Chains A and B, each alone.
Chain A
Amino acid sequence: MRQSRISLSITVILTIIALIYLYPLFLIVINSLKTFAEITINAVALPESPQFSNYVETFKLMKYPNLFLNTLIATGIGVAGVVLVSSMAGYKLSRTRTRYSWVMFIILIAPMMIPFHSFMIALVKVAKVLHLTGSPWGLGVMYWGLGSPLALFLYHGFVKSIPRDLDDCAMIDGASPMRAFFQVILPLLQPVTVSVIVINAMWMWNDFLLPLLLLSGSKKALTLQLAAYNFFGQYKVEWHYAMAGVLLTIIPAVMIFLALQRHIIKGMIAGAVKT
């Protein structure tokens, strides 16, 4: 009895803390539904009547569908490429026990120790030479090498738990090494694949700096985060539009998170703790 009362009061206290914790986001929601005058008078009060027109206006002002599509393309291309190249390499490196394999492994995971900001200046130069600037496709391609070292490391560790006999069986059946990998091994790596997709999709969708470096010149190619930043700069005073802009920017990620939270939290943690 006493135990459950303590446990209940902990729940109550933590719930209150959580509500305070999320209060700033609640403020954004209510202010995105107010008129400009209402925000100026009192930012804490609830809206008199919800102004959904703020969203409609902002949707148009931001050219939202275009931004959404660009972000989706960059994230999609980026995640698909990372999964593909890192699962192949992680698998093969884990199976090959030679000195050159070890050297290759070190070369491929070393970038985990190199912070993005220490090479971003030259990265822009490389991207320009390869004509990968100014489009979400190019941005997606540039993510491949940035996301692969960690992903490859995760695959490399997981492959050890898969019996080698499976490789051999597939080969005896006459499949080429590539086919054996894609048809037999890759489906078995699914737990890591989920982690890799979660970690990379979250990061690429929310990334700001690389899009800023590669896309800021071209209006048509902007991603959500980059456009949101420009939008906030432009509508400094019109808080009602800016707040609706915030919500439109974060809604896709928040919805996906709430729908898949168990997988997402597990995936993020697997990525962090294994390294």
Chain B
Amino acid sequence: MNLHQKRQRTSFLIFLSFTVPALATILLSVEIPFLMSVIYSFTKWNGLDKIPQFIGLANYIEIFTNDPDALYALGFTLRMAAFTVVFTNIFALALAVFLDSDIRGKNALRVAFYIPNIISLIVIGYVWRFIFTKGFDSFYEMTGLGVFMFSWLGDKDLAFFSLVLVRVWQQLGFYLVIYIAGLQTVPKDLIEAATIDGASPVIRFFRVTLPMIMPSITVAVFYSLSNGLKVFDVILSLTSGGPGNATMSIALDIYRTAFITGRFGYGTAKSVVLFFVILVLTVFQVKVFKQREVEV
């Protein structure tokens, strides 16, 4: 072995000593379990058997042909993600525009809107369960308004909107701050130039500001979409998937299939489907949104 080879070997060993700890933990917590899930998805496995029984594509066929609940959960999750993405981003952006302008107390306001975001979703769901039941009863007694008498958690359609409301309420602050950061990158002279050209504030927003903050929109929509498709905690504590199975999300369905019903192999097949749903939708979204980003 000559000197050059020896030096190369040493530097490779140093490289490994820095990277192998990360590799080991990531393989252990993510990549090995993920590959195992893919393999288990072709098996029938109750979690206890030493050797799962290979059954080919039967789990996948069952999901798409013989499991209306799973397909319903898929549809429900897509619908709910769509609504939360749209409302979260519109409200967050609108608020950000005002909070980015030169007003007093904007820092305190930003903190106020951020607070729900630091509370766990499992607790948030529970807080709102109280509001929708006890709180709304008292509101009704005070105001006599019929809206407070509706069964916000017991009715299938209303429960959907309750979940969207709570979800948007909880995460708004995070997206608000992303948009404020984005708005601060818009060059002031560009806005001034548009003002001199006689553009009204509304035109300025849609023609100048909006195209300039497209990168922030891409990021915010990506996060809200991928989080929306993974929705779990808030449903568990607010509606537990009910009434009936009306608010069952894919993630909750996976959890139930594996850990409540004990069909681990079938559960992993559903989880692989979730992986592809999220991958395809987020890649598509980022691609479409990136095309609309402009260079200065």
Contacts and interface: CB of A to CB of B under 8 A. Distances in A.
A225 B123 contact: yes
B203 interface: no
Contacts of A258: 111
A195 to B, nearest CB: 13
Interface string B117-139: 01111110011101100110111
Interface stretch (A49-57, A62-70, A202-210): A202-210
Interface in A1-37: 7-8, 10-11, 14-15, 18, 21-22, 24-25, 27-28, 31
Given A207-B120, A268-B174, 5 more contacts: A27-B131, A43-B130, A108-B23, A121-B40, A121-B271
Interface in B229-265: 229-230, 232-233, 236-237, 250-251, 254-255, 258-259, 264
Contacts of A25: 115-116, 127
B109 A126 contact: no
Given A114-B34, A119-B30, A254-B118, A268 B177 contact: yes
A207 to B, nearest CB: 8
Contacts of B229: 115
B29 A273 contact: no
Contact of A39 (B26, B134, B232): B134
Interface string A92-115: 110010001100100110110111
Interface string B8-52: 000010110111011101111111111011001000000100000
A126 B36 contact: yes
Given A39-B134, A239-B134, A96 B15 contact: yes
A177 interface: yes
A15 B109 contact: yes
Interface in A168-187: 177-178, 181
Contacts of A46: none
B230 A116 contact: yes
Nearest to B23: A108
Interface of B: 12, 14-15, 17-19, 21-23, 25-34, 36-37, 40, 47, 95, 98-99, 101-105, 109-116, 118-123, 126-128, 130-131, 134-135, 137-139, 141-142, 169, 174, 177-178, 181, 216, 219, 223, 226, 229-230, 232-233, 236-237, 250-251, 254-255, 258-259, 264, 267-268, 271-272, 274-275, 278-279
B175 to A, nearest CB: 9
A39 B237 CA distance: 21
A143 B236 CA distance: 22
Given A14-B99, A85-B21, A122-B37, A269 B27 contact: no
A254 B118 CA distance: 7
A177 B12 CA distance: 12
Contacts of A39: 134
Interface of A: 7-8, 10-11, 14-15, 18, 21-22, 24-25, 27-28, 31, 39, 42-45, 81, 84-86, 88-89, 91-93, 96, 100-101, 104, 107-108, 110-111, 113-123, 125-126, 130, 142-146, 148-149, 152, 177-178, 181, 202, 205-209, 213, 225, 228-229, 232, 239, 242-243, 246, 249-250, 253-254, 257-258, 261, 264-265, 268-269, 272-273, 275
Contacts of B219: 272-273, 275
A206 B109 CA distance: 23
The prevalent SS among residues of B at the interface is helix
The prevalent SS among residues of A at the interface is helix
Contacts of B115: 22, 25, 254, 257
A134 B131 CA distance: 34
Contacts of A148: 22, 25-26
Contact of B271 (A107, A117, A206): A117
Contacts of A229: 122, 126, 236-237
A246 B127 contact: yes
A122 B34 contact: yes
Contacts of B34: 111, 114, 118-119, 122
13 contacts: A10-B98, A11-B104, A24-B128, A44-B139, A115-B274, A117-B255, A119-B36, A120-B254, A120-B271, A121-B254, A177-B18, A265-B111, A272-B174
A245 to B, nearest CB: 9
